[in-house]
Structure 1
Amino acid sequence: MGPVAKRPVFEGFEDTWLVTLFYVLAFIAIVVFLYGVVLRIRRYMAGRHQPVYKDWPKRLAQAFWEVLSSRKIGRRDPYTGIAHGFVFWSFGFLFLGTTIIAIDQDILGLISPSLRFWKGNFFLGFSIVMDISAVLFIVGLGMLGLRRAFFNVFRLSYARVDGKAEDRSRYRREDWWFLGQLLLIGLTGLFIEVFRLMMDHPWFEIYSPVGLLLARGFEGLGMSAQQAAEWHLGLWWFHAFLALTFIAYIPYAKSVHMAASWVNLAVRDRKAGIALPAPATETSLGLPLTPSAIDLNWKEMLSVDACTKCGRCHDVCPARNSGAPLSPRDLILDLREALGGRHGMRQAAVSAADGNGAPSEVPCLREMAAGGTSLISPDVLWSCTTCRACVETCPVGIEHVPLIVQMRRTLIDEGAMDDNLSSTLMNFARKGNSFGQSERNRPKWVKDARVPVKDARKEEVEYLWFVGDYASYDPRAQRVAQTLARILTHAGVSFGILYEAERNAGNDVRRTGEEGLYETLVEKNIQAIQSAKFKKILTTDPHSYNTIKNEYPAYGLEVQIEHYTELLNRLAKEKRLVVTEPQRVTATYHDPCYLGRYNGVFDPPRNLIEHVGATLVEMPRNRDNSFCCGAGGGRIWMGDTLYPNKPAESRIHEAKQLHGVTHFVVACPKDLVMYSDAVKTAGYEGQMEVSDLIFLVEKAMGLENYAAEEIMV
Structure 2
Amino acid sequence: MARETYWGITSVEYATFYFLAFTAIAVFTYGVYRRFARYSQGDDDSFARLNDLPNRIVSSAKIVLSNEKQFNRDLYGGLMHSFILWGFLTLFIATLILMAEEYAAQKILHMSFWDGDFYLAYQFMVDALGLLFVVGIGMAMYRRYWVRNHRLWGRHTSNEDDIFIWTLFALGIGGFLLEGLRIYSAGIPDHEIVSFVAYGMALSFDAVGLPTMGAEQAGLNGAGFNVENLHWLAWWSHSLIAFFFIAWIPYAKPFHMISSFANVVTRDEKAGKRLPNVPSDLDATNAESIDDFTWKEILDQDACTKCGRCSSVCPAKSSDRPLDPRNVILDLKSYREDLEAGGEEKPIIADGGTSVINSETMDSCMACMACMDACPVEIEHLKSFTRLNRQQTDQGDVSSSMQDVFQNVMQNGNTFGDSPRNRGDWTEDLEFDVTDAREEEVDYLWYVGDFPSYDERNKQVARSLATILKEADVSFGILFDDEKFDGNDIRRVGEELLYVELAGHHVETWEDCEFDKIVCTDPHSYNTFKNEYPELNFDEFSDDPMMPFEYDEQWNDDGEIDVYHWTQAVEELVEEGKLDLSGTELDYTVTYHDPCHLGRYNDEYEAPRELIKATGCTLDEMPRNRSNSFCCGGGGGGLWMDFEEEPKPSEERIREALEDTDAGSGIEKFVVACPMCMTMYEDGRKTGDFEDEIEIVDVAELIVEAIGKADEAQVEVAAD
TM-score for both structures, normalised by structure 2:
0.90
**How far apart, CA to CA, are the structure 2 residues paired with 1:347 and 1:599?**
42
Cα distance change, pair 693–701 in 1 and its aligned pair in 2 (3 A): same
Q: Please tell me whether residue 602 in structure 1 is matched to residue 637 in structure 2.
A: no
Asked if 1 retains the 8 angstrom alpha-carbon contact of 2:287 and 2:388, the reply is: no
- Give deviations 1:347-370, integer Å, cap 9, x for gaps: 6889xxxxxxxxxxxxx9733554
Aligned to 1:250: 249
Partner of 2:202: 215
1:573 aligns with 575
What is the percent sequence identity of the aligned residues?
Answer: 41
Q: Residue 410 of structure 1: CA displacement?
A: 0.9
**1:484-509 CA distances to partner (integer Å, 9 max, x unpaired)?**
11111111111111111111111011
Aligned to 1:557: 555
Letter of the structure 2 residue corresponding to residue 585 of structure 1: Y
In the alignment, what sits opposite 1:654? 656
Q: Secondary structure at the match of 1:113?
A: coil
C-alpha displacement of 1:110: 2.3
Partner of 2:703: 697
Pick closer, same or farther for the CA change 1:70–1:309 going to 2, 3 Å: same
What CA deviation, in whole Å up to 9, does each residue of 1:132-153 have, x standing for no partner? 1221111111111111112232
> SS at the partner of 1:366?
coil
Q: CA deviation at 1:88?
A: 0.8
| Amino acid in the other structure paired with 2:691 | E
Task: Note the aligned Cα RMSD (angstroms).
Answer: 2.0
Give the aligned partner of residue 119 of structure 1: 115
Q: Read off the aligned partner of 2:149 and give its amino acid letter.
A: V
Which of these residues, 364, 367, 380, is aligned with residue 348 of structure 2? 367
1:338 matches 2:325:
no
Output the amino acid matched with 2:289: A
Alignment partner of 2:590: what SS?
strand
The secondary structure found in structure 2 opposite 1:458 is coil
Q: Does 1:299 align with 2:303?
A: no
Are 1:615 and 2:618 matched, yes or no?
Answer: yes
Deviation at 1:41, TM superposition (A): 1.6
Q: Alpha-carbon deviation of 1:224?
A: 2.6
Counterpart selection for 1:25 from 2, 20, 24: 20
Amino acid at match of 1:22: F
Q: Check whether the contact 2:67–2:78 (CA below 8 A) recurs between aligned residues.
A: yes
Structure 1 residue 278 displacement after superposition: 2.5
SS in 2 for 1:191: helix
Unaligned runs of 5+ in 1: 160-167, 351-363, 709-713
| Aligned amino acid, residue 592 of structure 2 | Y
Give the letter for the 1:598 counterpart. Y
C-alpha separation between the residues in 1 aligned to 2:124 and 2:353? 62
Q: CA deviation at 1:48?
A: 1.0
* 1:541 aligned partner: 522
Letter in 2 for 1:557: W
CA shift digits 1:132-184 (9 cap, x unpaired): 1221111111111111112232212215xxxxxxxx5xx24222211110011
Whole-angstrom CA distance in 2 between matches of 1:365 and 1:550: 35
**1:506 aligns to 2:487 (yes or no):** yes
Query: Does the residue aligned with 1:691 lie in a helix, a strand or coil?
Result: strand
**1:319 Cα deviation (Å)?**
0.7
Whole-angstrom distance in 2 between the partners of 1:644 and 1:376: 23
In the other structure, the counterpart of 2:455 is 474
Residue 177, structure 1, aligned to residue 166, structure 2: no
Task: Please say which of residues 43-52 and 408-417 is displaced more in the overlay.
Answer: 43-52
**Equivalents in 1 of 2:668, 2:35: separation in Å?**
55
In structure 1, distance between residues paired with 2:503 and 2:602: 20
Cα separation, 1, equivalents of 2:130 and 2:581: 62
Find 1:130's aligned residue among 112, 126, 129. 126
Q: Is the 8 A contact 2:286 2:391 kept in 1?
A: no
Which residue of the other structure, out of 593, 596, 599, is the alignment partner of 1:593? Answer: 596
Task: Give distance in 2, aligned partners of 1:282 and 1:229.
Answer: 70
Q: Kindly indicate whether the alpha-carbon contact (under 8 Å) linking 1:545 and 1:563 is maintained by their aligned counterparts in 2.
A: yes
Paired with 1:483 and 1:280, the residues of 2 have a C-alpha distance of 40
Give the conservation status (yes or no) of the 8 Å contact 2:414–2:450.
yes
Once residues 481 and 104 of structure 2 are traced to their aligned partners in structure 1, the CA distance between those partners, rounded to angstroms, is 76
* Structure 1 residue 687, shift from structure 2 partner: 0.9
Distance (Å, rounded) in 2 between the aligned partners of 1:87 and 1:21 = 30
The CA distance in 1 between the partners of 2:580 and 2:567, in whole Å, is 12
Give the Cα separation in 1 of the matches to 2:573 and 2:362. 42
Cα separation, 2, equivalents of 1:696 and 1:403: 39
Aligned residue number for residue 445 of structure 2: 464
Question: How far off its partner does 1:120 sit?
Answer: 1.9
Q: Deviations over 1:432-455 (max 9, x none)?
A: 110011111111111112222111
Question: Secondary structure, in 3 states, of the residue corresponding to 1:71?
Answer: coil
Check whether the contact 2:632–2:680 (CA below 8 A) recurs between aligned residues: yes
CA distance in 2 between counterparts of 1:60 and 1:521 reads 38
Against the structure 1 CA distance between its residues 492 and 310, is the aligned structure 2 distance closer, same or farther, given a 3 Å change threshold?
Answer: same
CA offsets 1:528-565 (integer angstroms, 9 cap, x no match): 11111010011110000000000111232222111111
| Residue 8 to residue 282, structure 1, CA distance change in 2 (3 Å) | farther
Secondary structure, aligned partner of 1:436: coil
Q: Is the 8 A contact 1:318 1:628 kept in 2?
A: yes
> Does structure 2 conserve the Cα–Cα contact (< 8 Å) formed by 1:94 and 1:134?
yes
CA gap of 1:103–1:433, structure 2 versus 1, over 3 A, is same
Aligned equivalents of 2:308, 2:358: Cα separation in 1? 20
Cα 1:53/1:233, change in 2 over 3 Å: same
Equivalent AA in structure 1 for residue 248 of structure 2 = Y
Call closer, same or farther: CA 1:437–1:535 in 2, change over 3 Å: same
Q: Deviation digits for residues 86-124 of structure 1, max 9, x if unmatched? A: 11111111110001111121233221212x322221111
What residue is the counterpart of 1:77 in the other structure? Answer: 74
| Alpha-carbon distance change, 12 to 263 in structure 1, aligned in 2, over 3 angstroms | same
Where 1:212 maps in the other structure, the secondary structure is helix
Counterpart Cα distance in 2 of 1:136 and 1:281? 54
